[in-house]
Amino acid sequence: MLKQRKDFLGLYDVPGEDIKEILTTAQSMKDIFTRSIKKVPTLRGKTVVNLFFEPSTRTKSSFDLAAKRLSADVMSISKKSSSVVKGETLLDTARTMERMGADIVVVRHSHPGAARYLANNLQAAVLNAGDGAHAHPTQGLLDIYTIWEKFGEIKGKKVLIIGDIAHSRVARSNIWGLLNLGAEVRVCGPSTLIPNRLEKTGVKIYNNIDRAIEDVDAINILRIQLERQESGLFPSLREYRFLYGINEERQNNLKEEALVMHPGPMNRGVEIESSVADGRKAVINEQVTNGVAIRMALLYLLAGKEVQHENLA
């Protein structure tokens, strides 16, 4: 089913079966990581363009690495080093890359809908690497993969997302992906940072973190976006840390096998204490590694329509 899609823009409309196909494909990709030569010829002759108009460490470098491990040709453009600073539009920049032979355009942009706009106007496949507060589907998938890899199943698992849900593309993508796979999704944060009507989707809303963490299989701790404090959406970093921060005491109240996740970048000492980020339940480093596998899987599924599966061997 996924091979029939031109683009991959979000998880809202991706059925659970298709998400499972991505997870199992990512698992095959991860097997490649243990080989002495971590590269397969699967996308030889294909061209991937990374258009990053917002800063990124993890997503940009892992798309770059994922494309290279599949033997694609890769070009990376950032806002500062492109002709966008001279007034060129996003679409003209993307069309220029397409005329140079891009098969897949990976885009990160501050405007929600930027990836959809490119998808509607390019023949190349478009992969959303984060558009404003709207969606960050590869982050959602790598988070889900990390839970799936540990437990072997997502259905029925209780996953808590903590923080600024209203402004988080990571939260949105996790919520849709997890709900489509049959997980119980909880969110917890200041009421000013929880979207209205979220409970209509089936998500359970908590304002008390100590109640929210009871009996969960995984917690995913969002980065506090410091500019929200300036706009008065939460009182102070000190109070946020006290009310919602994950410290050792809260970690110890989690189930023994529960996972502590963070999509990064982290504000250590605010939403998560260093001892927890580096602690026994944390799978934050695994999330980063899994991000490469998930992005390889999506590049393969989007660009590799005519590629034979044996090429993964």
One of 57, 83, 201, 274 touching ligand CP (CB under 6 A): 57
By CB under 6 A, residue 285 contacts ligand CP: no
The residues with which 104 forms a beta bridge, in sequence order, are 48, 125
Q: For residues 283 and 312, which CB has a smaller minimum distance to ligand CP in the complex?
A: 283
Peptide bond connecting 265 to the previous residue in cis, omega within 30 degrees of 0: yes
Starting from the edge strand earliest in sequence, which strands make up the sheet with 125-131, in order?
73-78, 47-52, 104-109, 125-131
Q: CB of residue 288 vs ligand CP: minimum separation in angstroms?
A: 9
By CB under 6 A, residue 263 contacts ligand CP: yes
Q: For residues 137 and 189, which CB has a smaller minimum distance to ligand CP in the complex?
A: 137
Q: CB of residue 26 vs ligand CP: minimum separation in angstroms?
A: 17
By CB under 6 A, residue 167 contacts ligand CP: no
Of 42-50, 82-90, 242-250, 260-268, the segment contacting ligand CP by CB under 6 A is 260-268
Instruction: Give the residue carrying structure tokens 């199943």.
Output: 153
Q: How far apart are CA 13 and CA 33, in angstroms?
A: 30
One of 45, 101, 235, 265 touching ligand CP (CB under 6 A): 265
Q: CB of residue 90 vs ligand CP: minimum separation in angstroms?
A: 19
Q: For residues 195 and 263, which CB has a smaller minimum distance to ligand CP in the complex?
A: 263
* Interface size with ligand CP, residues (CB under 6 A): 9
Task: Say how far residue 301 (Cα) sits from the centre of its chain.
Answer: 17
By CB under 6 A, residue 132 contacts ligand CP: no
Of 11-19, 66-74, 261-269, 293-301, the segment contacting ligand CP by CB under 6 A is 261-269
Count of CB atoms situated within 10 Å of the CB of 80:
10
173 close to 230: Cβ distance less than 8 angstroms:
no
Q: How far apart are CA 118 and CA 126, in angstroms?
A: 7
Q: For residues 22 and 40, which CB has a smaller minimum distance to ligand CP in the complex?
A: 22
Q: For residues 40 and 298, which CB has a smaller minimum distance to ligand CP in the complex?
A: 298
At position 297, the amino acid (one-letter code) is: A
By CB under 6 A, residue 220 contacts ligand CP: no
Q: CB of residue 74 vs ligand CP: minimum separation in angstroms?
A: 16
The encoded tokens of residue 213 equal: 């963490």
Q: CB of residue 264 vs ligand CP: minimum separation in angstroms?
A: 5
Rounded (5°) CA angle 79-293-68: 55
Count of CB atoms situated within 10 Å of the CB of 87:
7
Q: For residues 42 and 139, which CB has a smaller minimum distance to ligand CP in the complex?
A: 139
At position 156, the amino acid (one-letter code) is: G
Rounded (5°) CA angle 29-32-34: 130
Q: How far apart are CA 114 and CA 33, in angstroms?
A: 32
By CB under 6 A, residue 76 contacts ligand CP: no
At position 108, the amino acid (one-letter code) is: R
By CB under 6 A, residue 110 contacts ligand CP: no
Residues 17-56 that bind ligand CP (CB under 6 A): 56
Q: How far apart are CA 75 and CA 146, in angstroms?
A: 28
By CB under 6 A, residue 140 contacts ligand CP: no
Of 57-65, 115-123, 192-200, 207-215, the segment contacting ligand CP by CB under 6 A is 57-65
Q: How far apart are CA 162 and CA 212, in angstroms?
A: 9
By CB under 6 A, residue 139 contacts ligand CP: yes
Residues at the interface with ligand CP (CB under 6 A): 56-59, 130, 139, 263-265
